[in-house]
Chain A
């Protein structure tokens, strides 16, 4: 993958269409993919999972405008294929570390729309008891460790989860999501070095949406070929079409198999794009309308829907049925969140130390 090609992608979103194959910067010879056979049922599941994230967040926009939810809200719209595809490669025992743009990761991981929505509302029924909000979603029972709002701050922690799993003789993988912006932080490089040095079972998933807030990739990275740079640490690194959920899934399956086989950390550069502004506060003045439209033409949801329709795997009735189910699910999540209790102010100092509160079950 050359730097030139990375740059070209920015102006030519259709580029990855040239093949559903992932591009390999460095390939591990021993990892023959045992990826799930593509089937209609499976593709329908992927579609439903992406639609859940999309509709959830579209509802968040409405709720934010209505001042029902507040704070920093970072939408994942356009990037759904990454969370959904990667999650397919993980087991419930694997660990996931995420950023502040994590609604998609949390929902794909199986945290219910109810629990995430209640967290947006700051209610006790939220997945972080209302203490975290949009940027700090957690679910210990699903090994979902945040929800980290410090760019690159989750990376060292993910290395530690992987280290502990290995020291305890488990075969679990820790998956850490982060953005292209994290590549400029020391913590990324410290962690890449440490993880490769210790051959940690760590899957590094860089969601390269080409912007760190308003700063385009080529204005924050001297070398924009991220997979190549990750490979320089001695780990297997691939660039993947992050708009194609099936390509993401296949790449993630292969990487996870390699990691479980003991070949150390793997890096996936997911080439993706956020269709919305960085956060609800952002007027999005730094991007070309044309560029956004071009990328929208490769909307991961349409891409899969079209493929399935072409194959005769999906009809209008099926789409309507899924949409209806998800809308009901999110309606119900909003309704439950509206009614959910707020924590009494007397509990303010809970959860500062373990003795200062009973843990949320």
Chain B
């Protein structure tokens, strides 16, 4: 509490995530958290602050700067009956562990003919918006969503930050959780979940009838803000939060497009070969005759993320871009 100086009654996304970790560590002694600076430092984004004191250095385990070794160690530990939660500082650094994630975590079950499930959770931050420049700001979760054998989650709300971890740990297969860096300080009242959080379904964050804004993670607040603006103009936008990037909830996408007959995908990744491309293709394949307008995409500019604030803002999908794209589709 209070790391952000937030009001007592409110919870931040960071605190919600921490509470999820605390609950996981408390409720199952096979669970341990491992990563760079998760212990004494408290996590480079402060997520695990205090957990070392509570659970000790065996279970809140600082690792050397060895992404490949400690992600691989998480895989091995999962094979041997533990339930590791591995934290990687950012998705950019996860590329040093991509071999372990793709060649081991995602494939061992298959290569072994079903003998070796890997019950591992890997958490990492993603996304831009804090002027951290090109090596700390990219959104590569779509690349991971390309890989069969893993599940990819993008909690965008306090409730998902708080409640997605437990089912992720219960999943017998590897689960990657992407936490957008700009969400950690988002605060609000943490509502009790009305139903157990499942990892298979997208959520309608705002119902609407004129256009479907399909998004996830750090772009959700922008899509909701755009929907507010559009509502003021009399355009009713439905906001779909994908929540799970792999496997995609095709039914939810189809159902929404069938209601609104217009679709837009908002994704902070680059447009070329992005998750937005995948979602658009699926709409074209499955809901073509429902469409009254071409699918719109709002993505990041095709440039390594610049440092300069004005340029970074220009590179990222912004609320105004979403509103403009909605006009193209609706008008």
| Alpha-carbon gap, A138 to B69, bound state (A) | 21
Q: Closest Cβ of chain B: how far from A169's Cβ, in Å? A: 11
Report how far A163 CA is from B111 CA in the complex, Å.
Answer: 23
In the assembled complex, the CB of B190 is this many whole angstroms from the nearest CB of chain A, namely 30
Residue pair B76, A163 in contact (C-beta under 8 Å): yes
Question: What number of B residues sit within 8 Å (CB to CB) of A?
Answer: 41
Given the known interface contacts A150-B99, A354-B117, the answer about A159 and B69 at a Cβ–Cβ threshold of 8 Å is yes
Encode B218-247 as 1/0 by CB contact (under 8 A) with A.
000000000000000000000000000000
Given A150-B103, A165-B80, A187-B99: A193 and B112 interface contact (C-beta under 8 Å): no
B146 → A minimal CB distance (Å): 13
Kindly identify which residue among A138, A140, A158, A168 contacts B111, using a CB–CB cutoff of 8 Å: A138
Closest-CB distance, B32 to chain A (whole angstroms): 7
B75 with A129: CB separation less than 8 A? no
Chain A residues lying within 8 Å of B63, measured Cβ to Cβ, are 194
B113, A351: Cβ atoms under 8 Å? yes
Count of A residues near B, CB < 8 Å? Answer: 49
Interface flag for B79 (CB, 8 Å):
yes
- The answer, yes or no, to whether A190 is at the interface (CB within 8 Å) is yes
A147 B111 Cβ-Cβ under 8 A: yes
Is A162 close to B, CB under 8 A? yes
Contact B117 A161 (CB under 8 A): no
**B115: which of A161, A168, A186, A360 is its contact (CB, 8 Å)?**
A360
Q: List residues 111-163 of chain A with CB under 8 A from any CB of chain B.
A: 126-132, 136, 138-140, 145-148, 150, 153, 155-163
Decide: B81 and A164 in contact? CB cutoff 8 A: yes
Looking at chain A's contact residues, is the secondary structure mostly helix, strand, loop, or mixed?
A: mixed
B104 to A153, Cβ gap below 8 A?
A: yes
For residue A95, CB closer than 8 A to chain B, the reply is yes
Which residues of B lie under 8 Å from residue A138 when comparing CB positions?
108, 111-113, 115-116
Task: Report A's interface with B, CB cutoff 8 A.
Answer: 95, 97, 126-132, 136, 138-140, 145-148, 150, 153, 155-165, 167-168, 174, 186-187, 190-191, 193-194, 197, 350-354, 357-360
Query: Which B residues, 67 to 118, have Cβ-Cβ distances below 8 Å to chain A?
Result: 68-82, 84, 99-100, 103-104, 108-117
Residues in chain B near residue A360, CB distance under 8 A: 112-115
The 5 closest A-B pairs by CB, nearest first: A156-B72, A160-B76, A129-B113, A164-B80, A190-B69
Q: Is the CB of A163 within 8 A of B73?
A: yes
Of B69, B70, B151, most A-chain CB atoms within 10 Å: B69
